[in-house]
Structures are given as structure tokens and as C-alpha cells.
Structure 1
Amino acid sequence: MIVPTIVILVAVILVMDVDADLTDKLRQKLDLPEVQKCITSTGYIPKGPPEGPSQEFTPEQLCFFKCIMEEKGLLDSTGNIIQDELNNVPLPIPDDKKNEIKKCAAGAGKIESCEDIQKLLSCLPM
């Protein structure tokens, strides 16, 4: 299912643990400068893990995901996914799935708009 993987990806990008204390940890991370920048620029304030299918993410959520990826150095200024940085994200999934995600992400093309994040989301296992 894609939603748990999205939660894991966003959680890892925000450097937090996915556990029972997620809400408390999320509150702590909201003060990080890069997160504040993304909240300000998108108007989206994370209140917990995203819920629902990725197709139901709001435009603000998609823009927030894109912003976090830019701020964490996973996208360059022209929207290319930086594979070396993506390789450094410790996704807690089997290695064969990681390789599939990385290969798909490499072919996803540029992430120039918030909606383009869907191209990357489509790489995540369902």
C-alpha cells in the first residue's frame, strides 16, 4: 500500500521515527528551519502522517512534500532527483524494493511542479 510508504518516506526525510510518539516527534520537527520554510510557502501544517490514497493528497500536501525534498537536497534547482542523496535516505524496506524505487525514481523525470511529485509517488510500492 502506498500510504505507509509515503509516511515512511516523509518521516525519514523529516528525520523522525515512525512510532507511537509520532505526534510529539512531529511537533518537535515543526520548528526546524526547513520545515518552517515549507509550512510558510505551502500553507500546509502537518498534523500527523498523511492519510488516504496518494491521489487524494491536497495540492498543499504535494507542495509540502516537494518543498521538503528540495530543502533536504533530494531535488536540484531544476527539479532533477539527486540519486546520490536518494540513495542516502534509509528507507526501512527490503533492498530489492529499494532498488526498484531508485530505478523508477531515476526515470521519473523532472519534478518541476507540486503535481509532479505524483511521478515519484508512483515509484513507491503499493
Structure 2
Amino acid sequence: MDRLRRDPELLPLAVEELLRNELPVHMRERIPHADIDVAGTKIPQHASVILVLASGNRDPMRFHEPDRFEPTRPDNQHLGFGSGIHLCYGGPGPDRGIHRAQRAASPPRQRPPGRGPPYRQNAMLRGPRPLSIQL
């Protein structure tokens, strides 16, 4: 937070890194309409396939030191809003708005009370339950 206060231009990169580290949808189910081959493994038509997007965001072949939070990480093409034809339609728009709003506001000087906010107990959709902070 101190670093962001000193250099607010880092905020867009920090937001992208937060989305890479703690994306809102960790996994999704997909059902192929035809037999498909994925890296040499045949997946039959109508089989349930679980895509673990959170794992892709921690892939060491894609991200250097993937478990490290690095707010200035370059080339951060994460899966926070999905990808391809499954890109979240509303994801990039609000994301840009977040960047503009955060540039205009200073980061909070106080942290949430306690060890952090309680998280939803849901394997697919993650995020804090109500989060209250004092400014």
C-alpha cells in the first residue's frame, strides 16, 4: 500500500496482479459437444470437464514465481475474466473503470480489522463475504 501511495501509476498493474492471484471464479465446468483431444488426451462428447482457472494463473511455465504477489508483473495475461469465447462479457469494462476510479482515489490507510475478511465457502466462486473498511 505504501508503494502504491508513492506511485499511483502502479495501480493498474496491481489490480491485474490481484485478479491473477485471487480471481473470482476458480473453476468452471464445461461439457464438450463432440469428442475432443486435449494434449493427447481424448475427452468424449458429453463428459464433464472441470477447468481449474486458478491453477492456470499459477502455472510456472507461464508466470515467473507464480505464487509470489508482484504488483509490477509485466505481461500479466491472467484468466481472471476467462478467455476466448468464454471471456466474461462484462469483465474488461468494469476492470478499466476500476483503474480510473482507483487512480482518482487514494488507497485506504487502514486495513480491515482482524486477519482479513471471511471468504465464501464455495469452490467455484470465490471472494470475501461483506468487507468493511474504515477510511
| TM-score, length-scaled by structure 1 | 0.33
Considering fraction of residues, name the structure with more strand.
Answer: 2
Task: Compare CA radii of gyration and give the structure with the larger one.
Answer: 2
| TM-score, length-scaled by structure 2 | 0.32
